[in-house]
Amino acid sequence: MPLLLLLLMLALPAQAQIYQWTDEQGRPVFGDTPPDGVDARPIRVERPATLPGLPEARDILQQPPPSATEEPGDAYRQLAINRPERDGVVRSNLGQVDVALNLSPALKTDLGHRIRLRLNGDTAVTTQADQVTLEEVPPGTHTVQAEVVDDDGNTLIRSDTTTFHLLRTTVQQQSRPRP
Q: Check residue 165 and give its pLDDT.
A: 92
Classify residue 64: in a domain, yes or no. Answer: no
pLDDT tens profile 19-57: 888 988 988 888 888 888 888 898 887 777 776 666 666
How far lies 161's CA from each of 11, 91, 104, 106, 143, in Å? 61, 20, 18, 20, 6
Classify residue 173: in a domain, yes or no. Answer: no
Q: Check residue 69 and give its pLDDT.
A: 47
Segment holding 60, helix H or strand E: helix 57-62
Q: Check residue 176 and give its pLDDT.
A: 66
Confirm if 65 and 72 have CB atoms less than 8 A apart. no
Find the CATH number of the domain harbouring 128. 2.60.40.10
Classify residue 58: in a domain, yes or no. Answer: no
Same domain, 105 and 151: yes
Same domain, 28 and 82: no
Q: Residue 151 above 60 pLDDT? A: yes
Domain count across the chain: 2
Q: Check residue 53 and give its pLDDT.
A: 66
pLDDT tens profile 30-40: 888 888 888 88
Same domain, 22 and 96: no
Same domain, 37 and 88: no
Classify residue 38: in a domain, yes or no. Answer: yes
Classify residue 62: in a domain, yes or no. Answer: no
Q: Check residue 146 and give its pLDDT.
A: 94
pTM of the model: 0.54
DSSP state string for 1-39: -HHHHHHHHHHS-TT--EEEEE-TTS-EEEESSPPTT--
Same domain, 39 and 82: no
Classify residue 123: in a domain, yes or no. Answer: yes
Classify residue 109: in a domain, yes or no. Answer: yes
Range of the domain at 20: 2-43
Classify residue 67: in a domain, yes or no. Answer: no
